[in-house]
Structure 1
Amino acid sequence: MSRIMGMRGFLTSSIGAPSIGVTCAAALALPLTLPATAAPARAERTAATGRVAEAEVPGRTQSLPLVPRSRSRVAGAAPEQGLYRAGVRHFSLVGVVWDDPDTELHGRAQVRTRSAASGAWTGWQDIETHNGEHGADPGTAERSSGRVRGATAPLWVGDSDGVDVRVRADAEPAPAAGARGGPTDGPDATLPSGLRLALVDPGDEAPPQGPPADAPRSGTRTDAAVAAYAANTDLVPYGAPDIPELGRWATERELSRLNGGVPRAKPYIGPRPPIVTRRGWGADESLREPGFHYTNTVKAAFVHHTASGNKYTCSQASSVIRSIYRYHVKSMGWRDIGYNFLVDRCGTIYEGRAGGVAKAVMGAHTLGFNTNTMGIAVIGTYGTTKPPAAAVTAVARLTAWKLGLFGANPSGKTYLTSGGGNLYPKGKNVRLNVISGHRDGYATECPGKQLYAKLGTARSSAARYQGR
């Protein structure tokens, strides 16, 4: 259930955002006086990297190299790598990463885990291979940072202390007699190099209510947490864990205020839904890159599923999001979590990438189409499982409000310029639904057949919420 606290009170900053790649300075949005009771930052940053040491932040990521598995060397046999570890430090989410983000994993990744509570091992579970369809667009600073790696989807497994993983390449025919080279040369010729297993511990539950625990004392300022908390002060007080819902007329008044007091002739905008902020789900702001990147507008929304499995409860959703956030940043090398928003099975909406929920924050969700769009991920896997009605309704409510801020019609179509991908070459002008599935911009199974089938319902509902 949503943890919305019914808070009110607004500041009067503008919704305006800088152009692509511009970094927002935290100090510009920082309130002049912060709560005197707030605690100092938890950890000192290292002079060399500017990041908090791994042991000093909540949660952790264990990175373990995979090794070749013993297999009979017959012609055409598929190479396999794996790892078995019992008694590792607790983790709740797993994924497989490799060195080159442009190299695809053609094969199958499976894992079984041991419950930390019962000691019982699960059966083998498939880990969905992403193969590049998520991430920053080619040529952007985030994509070109040198830190980005290839990776599978993350899989939520619950509190575990043992793991057994196997990654097997698709079998390919052996090269002809006398041929040099070929896909089967060497034991791992058809697997990406540098395969590693990521075991993610999400850390503690969301922080208690009250002043932000990692806000600076009066007279001092710290970095990413201050900036993230201040990014939503055009809607709620600094550091609020939740953004409360607004009725139709209050939302229209807010839209006028955000537009500098200039009323829109016919404001097609849905009522603002309740949203859990990054502070509300317990984001460790020291993990991500500093600053925010914005685009010029929001013309469309791409709907995703996280492909992390459906074995979570709504009370665990914040832990799942913290795990995905850590996986995206620490394991995959992204600047922040890729999605702009996430939705759990109970219909609760969560702020994703930092920068302000009402602003045009550039995400890393749909390779080639991150500019002037937003990404919404429904937590779970929806290839054969139908998404809960509450989640579909939440997508409709969120898009009706957020697209309405930028004058977009959820039941209409728009043109987007491709940044490069496997469906459309870079620079191509593509006509897409304003509410599209990930597969509309990139050849992928995402957001799963069952969730994709519900996008028509989301479009019509969102338009109705907008009063169209």
Structure 2
Amino acid sequence: MTGAAATAAGLTTGGLLRPSTVLADVRARAGVGDPAERAAAAVDPSVKQVPLRGVDPDGASRLPARDLDGVGVLSPVVSSPGFAAVGITWAPGSTVDGREFFVRTQTGSTWSDWQPMTVDPGHGPSSGSVDAQTAMPGTDPVIVGDVDAVQVKVTGAAQRVPSALTLSVIDPGEPVAVQRLAEASEPDYDSVEDKHSTSPRPRIRSRKQWGANESMRDGFAGYGKIRAGFVHHTVNANNYSRSDVPAIIRGIYAYHTQSQGWSDIGYNFLVDRFGRIWEGRWGGIARPVIGAHTYGYNEKSFAMAAIGNFQTVRPRPAVLRAYARVFSWKLGRNHLNARGRTTIDGRHMRTISGHRDVGSTACPGGYLYARLGRIRRRARKLQLRS
């Protein structure tokens, strides 16, 4: 639907498409498949939520005294089935300033060291958006993988425990045979020339291929206008296998929707360390779907998150190529130069920017951020080649 047609039909407000009005149009155009087909391949994650009210006595009895220094909150030991993800949320308006969050995992009889959990308010919906209406602040999800149990702690004993502090332990679910086949098959979206872009559409694996349970979505944030693309990372372990990736995405999806109260997964696209591109937020891969990834800029941008922690490792060349392909295509659809500059609400930036360019964050990690120039050059070459 063109902007003129949408306006004539009364579907726009302030330049954005109204979510409630366009939902039927999205279903027809998004290319997400028949509902019965989606249901057949969907995987059902489960979310175990544990209230955190102070130091759990049994949990404390398992720790040496040095691990309790400065601890104001300590969870019990919680079993962790599947290729798990964990996160901590709290009530809107509660302050966590001065607090730090940590998780450790148990495999067999062995416990890991405490691992920090990132708190990044910039990873989320913009104020006034559909997602913001029900959003719960929290840590970023941490993919702990195939472990037996988890435990979390929060430092800052002198401060009051944040209201509604809750640990979520997410089992991403076990795929049935039809889903395993979908995960292993070639991408649902093949690479094709796009007459609306200066670059071809890259190969993209669909939501169905990572097992998205569409009943977990609640609402739709609508469509905006793309003026830039943002590079993110998910800040989780980098040693996952190809077959782990769908479970990782389902864990992020479940945390964003069931624990943080967002309408859908926050990112528009994700890329794994093997360079495979995955569809993120629902609404059509070619369309300007409003995400929940870069606070204050979601309505005028899109984002792709690299699965891993690129503050600690260098991205593989396949990851950089994937970024160039997606960004050259999406920016090209909006008549934007991949090596150019843009302005969003008075702020000047590159059309391909890192999250840290517009927020107080380390995202997308120092090693990936250092490669943005390479991504821009490669993306621009793809635009000129077409």
Q: Same fold (TM over 0.5)?
A: yes
Alpha-carbon distance between aligned partners in 2 of 1:199 and 1:107, rounded to the nearest angstrom: 20
Aligned to 1:225: none
Are 1:22 and 2:53 counterparts?
Answer: no
Are 1:141 and 2:130 counterparts?
Answer: yes
Tell whether the 8 Å contact from 2:130 to 2:263 is kept in structure 1 after alignment.
Answer: no
Tell whether the 8 Å contact from 2:81 to 2:146 is kept in structure 1 after alignment.
Answer: no
Aligned to 1:224: none
Tell whether the 8 Å contact from 1:363 to 1:370 is kept in structure 2 after alignment.
Answer: yes
1:36–1:156 Cα change, 3 Å: closer
Q: Relative to structure 2, which stretch is displaced further, 286-295 or 80-89?
A: 80-89
Aligned to 2:273: 345
Match of 1:338, SS?
Answer: coil
Once the two structures are aligned, what percentage of the paired residues are identical?
36
Q: How does 1:170-209 map to 2 (within 5 A)?
A: 184=158, 188-189=159-160, 191-205=161-175, 208=178
Alpha-carbon distance between aligned partners in 1 of 2:76 and 2:96, rounded to the nearest angstrom: 24
Which ranges in structure 1 are unaligned for 5 or more consecutive residues?
A: 1-12, 43-55, 72-76, 172-183, 213-239, 257-266, 418-428
Q: How does 1:4-403 map to 2 (within 5 A)?
A: 19=12, 20=16, 22-23=18-19, 24-26=22-24, 29-30=27-28, 38=36, 58-69=44-55, 78-85=70-77, 87=79, 89-90=81-82, 92-100=84-92, 103-115=95-107, 119-143=108-132, 145=133, 147-169=134-156, 184=158, 188-189=159-160, 191-205=161-175, 208=178, 242-246=188-192, 251=193, 254-256=194-196, 269-291=198-220, 293-295=222-224, 297-403=225-331
Match of 1:395, SS?
Answer: helix
Tell whether the 8 Å contact from 1:157 to 1:311 is kept in structure 2 after alignment.
Answer: no
Alpha-carbon distance between aligned partners in 2 of 1:243 and 1:206, rounded to the nearest angstrom: 22
Aligned to 1:439: 356
Offset of residue 30 of structure 1:
4.0
Match of 1:462, SS?
Answer: helix
Alpha-carbon distance between aligned partners in 1 of 2:34 and 2:204, rounded to the nearest angstrom: 27
1:29–1:62 Cα change, 3 Å: closer
Alpha-carbon distance between aligned partners in 2 of 1:28 and 1:374, rounded to the nearest angstrom: 17
Tell whether the 8 Å contact from 2:354 to 2:372 is kept in structure 1 after alignment.
Answer: yes
1:346 partner letter: F
1:205 partner letter: P
Offset of residue 211 of structure 1:
12
1:448 partner letter: G
1:200 partner letter: I
Q: Relative to structure 2, which stretch is displaced further, 359-368 or 17-26?
A: 17-26
Alpha-carbon distance between aligned partners in 1 of 2:324 and 2:26, rounded to the nearest angstrom: 33
- TM-superposition CA deviations, 1:197-223 (whole Å, max 9, x none): 1101111237727999xxxxxxxxxxx
2:217 partner letter: R
Match of 1:402, SS?
Answer: helix
- TM-superposition CA deviations, 1:102-140 (whole Å, max 9, x none): 73453322222223xxx2434124233224111111122
TM-score by length of 2: 0.83
Aligned to 1:230: none
Tell whether the 8 Å contact from 1:104 to 1:131 is kept in structure 2 after alignment.
Answer: no
1:193–1:390 Cα change, 3 Å: same
1:101–1:355 Cα change, 3 Å: farther
Alpha-carbon distance between aligned partners in 2 of 1:439 and 1:164, rounded to the nearest angstrom: 30
> Of the two, which has the highest radius of gyration?
1
Alpha-carbon distance between aligned partners in 2 of 1:306 and 1:300, rounded to the nearest angstrom: 19
Tell whether the 8 Å contact from 2:237 to 2:308 is kept in structure 1 after alignment.
Answer: yes
Alpha-carbon distance between aligned partners in 1 of 2:264 and 2:35, rounded to the nearest angstrom: 29
Offset of residue 97 of structure 1:
1.2
Tell whether the 8 Å contact from 1:387 to 1:451 is kept in structure 2 after alignment.
Answer: yes
1:405 equivalent among 320, 333, 344: 333
2:366 partner letter: K
1:372–1:102 Cα change, 3 Å: farther
Which ranges in structure 2 are unaligned for 5 or more consecutive residues?
A: 61-68
1:379–1:65 Cα change, 3 Å: same
Q: Relative to structure 2, which stretch is displaced further, 18-27 or 104-113?
A: 18-27
Alpha-carbon distance between aligned partners in 2 of 1:95 and 1:28, rounded to the nearest angstrom: 31
Offset of residue 292 of structure 1:
5.0
1:373–1:37 Cα change, 3 Å: closer
TM-score by length of 1: 0.70
Give the structure with the higher percent helix: 2
Alpha-carbon distance between aligned partners in 1 of 2:281 and 2:38, rounded to the nearest angstrom: 24
1:434–1:102 Cα change, 3 Å: farther
Offset of residue 309 of structure 1:
2.2
1:385–1:37 Cα change, 3 Å: closer
Tell whether the 8 Å contact from 2:94 to 2:163 is kept in structure 1 after alignment.
Answer: no
